[in-house]
Amino acid sequence: MQALNRSEWHPSRRTVLANASALPLLALPLSQAQAQFRVEVSGVGMTQIPFSAATFRGNEAVNQDIAAIVRADLERSGQFRFVDPLAGAFDENTAIDFSPWRSKTSDALVTGSVTRLSDGRYDVRFRLWDIVKGQELGGASYPVPVAGLRNAAHKIADYVYEKLTGEKGVFSTRIAYVTKNGRQHTLVVADADGENAQTALTSNESIISPSWDPKGRQLAYVSFESRKPVIYSHDVFAGSRRLLVNFRGSNSAPAWSPDGSQLLATLSISGNAQIYAMSASGGSPKRLTQSGSIDTEPVFSADGGSIYFVSDRGGSPQIYKMSAKGGSAQRLTFSGSYNISPAPSPDGRWLAYISRVNGAFRLHVMDLSSGAVSAVSDSSADESPSFSPNSRLIIYATRDRGQEALMTSTVDGRIKTRLASARGDIREPEWGPFTR
């Protein structure tokens, strides 16, 4: 940047407490995936910032609508409301007459341009204006290849979001998920809005439990190509993979430590599924739970000092918390007989999970300071929640109109966005970290 100034699937997380066993696997560099998405926003927010984004000068020469992408990103956050721009041509050098924009009740305005450079790249420039105060809030320039135009737009949305809310935006981050078409299972990496989907891996056997490393480069996942669950790590940039965990019995539910030095996994070396920690570079695993029950789905807390996991030691699957060094565990969920898939927010405030209520699997959020729990969705087949790196949004899989789909929701459930696949079933979403 330059300153200007589900059930039919073989295994799933929902069936992780049941023993699962599952061939040719092909590691591929990123390539364009079949799945494309459309965005549908529903719900009513509280206080939203009204903003406009004028069509970028020169945008007609490229195949990505920069202003439209910025608009969709900001609206998806639940904190912005789009106001149609005034008629006319505007770019980052336009001297803005603020009065007519105030009359349209827009508080902020984004203007910019797209210019082809002599080396074939495109220079995407923008400027952000505070309409209420009548002043400039800054701008930037992103020289990018044509394939980088979407990411440039996401970075503009991040800039606007941070300037106007004081928090980092997540629009240039990425998500991972798994699709199934017929017998083919695909590990996909996409932009946070579900667009620009790239195939990272395909297999005729199940792929489950993708987990991003803290740098957003490696995806640990469970493969059944060896006729049993085995954990690999896939470099999404190089398209290469390495075997991480393959002990006797089942190897499942990988989760990275916040610093990337350790990996948690559910292993059945001792006979029943227990939680182990090991170096991310390999070595002997250290057993952390010592129960006679099934302990699984471990994940580190944001500070790395604790572990959340699922156990049926009390007679039904519930979520527990213990020290990252092991020891006694504290039960966290008491409402309902089935609570799984714990996902702590990066800021340490929230815990998202799936609770079965009257037979429906619904996304819930717990305030970790008070223990208060609220239902975020009213659907019936939710699974695999994962927080955005700024802790503002949750992505999860659900069933919509007869198909598996991905949803994002604000923590309070007021704004939901459906990332609907053109075809195929979608599961196991995992939101990646901020790009470093």
Q: In this structure, is residue 23 part of a structural domain?
A: no
Model pLDDT, residue 419: 80
Q: How far is CA 281 from CA 16, 84, 189, 288, 338, in A?
A: 25, 52, 23, 19, 34
**Does some domain include residue 25?**
no
Assigned domain for 208 exists: yes
Residues in the chain: 436
Closest CA to 427 of 3, 12, 128, 41: 12
Q: Among 165, 188, 217, give the residue marking a domain's end.
A: 165
Q: What token pair was written down for 220?
A: 């640990």
Of 232, 227, 228, 256, the residue nearest 242 (C-alpha): 232
Q: Are residues 245 and 361 in the same domain?
A: yes
Question: Which of the listed residues 165, 194, 229 is the one where a domain comes to its end?
Answer: 165
**Predicted local distance difference test score (pLDDT) of residue 101:** 96
- Residues 287, 144, single domain; the answer is no
Q: Are 184 and 309 members of one domain?
A: yes
| 3-class state of residue 316 by DSSP | coil
Distance between first and last Cα of the chain? 13
> Alpha helices, DSSP H only, in 145-238?
149-165
Would you say residue 54 has pLDDT above 60?
yes
- Report whether pLDDT(11) > 80: no
Has residue 31 got a pLDDT over 50? no
pLDDT band at 58 (very low <50, low <70, confident <90, very high): very high
Task: Tell me, yes or no, whether 306 and 388 share the same domain.
Answer: yes
Q: What pLDDT shows up at residue 4?
A: 56
Task: Quote the pLDDT of residue 436.
Answer: 57
The alpha carbon dihedral of 261, 263, 269, 274 has a sign of positive
Are 351 and 409 within one domain?
Answer: yes
| pTM summary value | 0.89
- Phi, psi dihedral angles at 161 (to 5 degrees): -60, -45
In a domain, residue 41? The reply is: no
Q: Encode 52-115 in three state secondary structure.
A: EECCCECHHHCCCCHHHHHHHHHHHCCCEEECCCCCCCCCCCCCCCHHHHHHCCCCEEEEEEEE
Contact by Cβ (8 Å): 275, 255: no
Does residue 34 have a pLDDT over 80? Answer: no
197 Cα distance to chain centroid? 13
Give the pair of three-digit tokens for residue 135: 């002043």
Please give the pLDDT value at position 43: 57
Per-residue confidence band for 405, with pLDDT thresholds at 50, 70 and 90: confident
Question: In percent, how much of the chain has pLDDT > 90?
Answer: 78
pLDDT tens per residue across span 286-302: 999 999 999 999 999 99
Contacts of 241 (CB under 8 A, 6+ apart): 27, 201, 232, 233, 234, 235
Looking at residue 236, its amino acid is: V
Neighbours of 132 (CB within 10 A): 12
d(CA 190, CA 201): 13
Q: If you search the block for the tokens 């057993």, which residue do you land on?
A: 287
As given in the structure block, the two tokens for residue 274 are 């227990």
Strands (E), 145-261: 174-181, 184-191, 198-203, 207-212, 218-223, 230-235, 240-245, 251-256
Residue 133 CB partners (closer than 8 Å, separation 6+): none
CB atoms inside a 10 Å sphere around CB 319: 24
Tell me the CATH number at 63. 3.40.50.10070
Say if 10 falls within a structural domain: no
Same-domain pairing of 199 and 158: no
pLDDT for 217: 94
Instruction: Kindly report, residue by residue over 223-253, the tens digit of the pLDDT.
Output: 999 989 999 999 999 999 999 999 999 999 9
63 is a domain residue: yes
Q: For residue 304, count other CB atoms closer than 10 A to its CB.
A: 13
Average pLDDT on 102-130 reads 97
Gyration radius of the chain's alpha carbons:
23
Question: What does the buried/exposed string (b/e) look like for 203-241 if buried means 16 or more CB atoms within 10 Å of the residue's CB?
Answer: bebbbbbbbbbbebbbbbbbbbbeebbbbbbbbbeeeeb
Centre a 10 Å sphere on the Cβ of residue 303 and count the other Cβ atoms it contains: 10
* 37, pLDDT greater than 80: no
Residue with the bigger pLDDT between 9 and 134: it is 134
Task: Extract the tokens encoding 164.
Answer: 């106007």
Mean pLDDT for the stretch of residues 190-215: 94
2: confidence class by pLDDT, cuts 50, 70, 90 = low
What pLDDT is attached to residue 142?
A: 97
CA–CA separation, 318 and 337 (whole Å):
7
Q: What is the mean pLDDT of residues 359-369?
A: 96
Mean pLDDT score of the chain:
89
Same domain, 181 and 159: no
- Judge if 66 and 212 occupy the same domain: no
- The per-residue pLDDT for range 305-330, each reduced to its tens digit, is 999 999 999 999 999 999 999 999 99
For residues 50-54, give the mean pLDDT. Answer: 96
Q: Which domain holds residue 111?
A: 46-165
Q: What pLDDT was estimated at residue 6?
A: 38
Asked if residues 150 and 157 have their Cβ atoms less than 8 Å apart, the reply is no
For residue 183, CA distances in Å to 6, 10, 203, 220, 239 come to 14, 10, 8, 21, 22
β-partners of residue 125 are 113, 141
Q: Is the Cβ–Cβ distance between 185 and 17 less than 8 Å?
A: no
> In this structure, what CATH number is given to the domain that contains residue 409?
2.120.10.30
Residue 80: inside a domain? yes
Kindly state whether residues 304 and 217 are assigned to the same domain: yes
* Total structural domains within the chain: 2
Within 10 angstroms of residue 83's Cβ, the number of other Cβ atoms is 19
Residue 142 lies in a domain: yes
Identify whether residues 152 and 226 lie together within a single domain.
Answer: no
Domain match, 398 and 345 both: yes
Q: Of 365, 378, 345, 399, which Cα lies nearest the Cα of 170? A: 345
Q: Which of 144, 165, 186 is the last residue of a domain?
A: 165
Q: Which residues contact 183 (CB under 8 A, 6 or more apart)?
A: 204
pLDDT digits (tens, 9 = 90+) for 143-164: 999 999 999 999 999 999 999 9
Q: Is residue 229 located within the same domain as residue 375?
A: yes
**Is the pLDDT assigned to residue 10 strictly greater than 70?**
no
